[in-house]
């Protein structure tokens, strides 16, 4: 890696450059092929649309490579001050969970009476089922 005077690094990227050239050339070739299809007797407006789309794809490949190089060569950002970052979640940030006590689960006396009646009913059904089999 060579360093330039401005603190950025230059890198050799022959494989990536070759990929960009091949992809852009392929997109342009497909655009030319669609243009030829548009001009033929069986061509349609769809072929014209594709003929105009493919060069845009080629331009995007070149733009994406250029942006990648810019981001990769950008000077490193200074580290963030450790004191500025929160180290724990404040206790009042999230809503409090409701607490359930055993008295809340039993409910009132009428609820427990209803539950006892239901359990008696289920026991009776179980006895009838066992006796009938």
Task: Tell me the sheet residues that pair with 2.
Answer: 10
Which residues, at least 6 apart from 8, have a Cβ–Cβ distance to it below 8 Å? 73, 74, 75
Q: What is the pLDDT along the chain (133 residues), one digit of tens a residue?
A: 445 555 555 677 899 999 999 999 999 999 999 999 999 999 899 999 999 999 999 999 999 999 999 888 887 776 666 567 767 877 888 888 888 776 655 556 667 788 889 999 999 999 998 888 7
Helices (H) and strands (E) counted in the chain, each on its own, are 4, 2
Q: Provide the residue ranges of all domains of the chain, joining segments of one domain with +.
A: 2-73, 106-133
A 10 A CB-CB count for 39 gives 11
Q: Are 47 and 38 in contact (CB under 8 A)?
A: yes
């Amino acid at each position: 890696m060579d360093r330039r005077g401005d603190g950025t690094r230059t890198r050799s990227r022959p494989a990536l450059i070759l990929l960009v050239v091949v992809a852009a050339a392929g997109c342009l070739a497909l655009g030319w092929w669609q243009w030829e299809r548009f001009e033929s007797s069986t061509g349609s407006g769809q072929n014209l649309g594709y003929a105009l789309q493919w060069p845009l794809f080629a331009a995007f490949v070149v733009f994406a490579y250029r942006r990648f190089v810019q981001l990769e060569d950008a000077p490193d950002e200074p580290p963030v001050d450790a004191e500025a970052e929160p180290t724990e979640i404040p206790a009042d940030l999230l809503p409090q969970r409701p607490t359930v006590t055993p008295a809340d689960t039993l409910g009132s006396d009428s609820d427990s009476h209803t539950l006892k009646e239901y359990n008696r009913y289920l026991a009776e059904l179980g006895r009838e089922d066992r006796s009938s089999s």
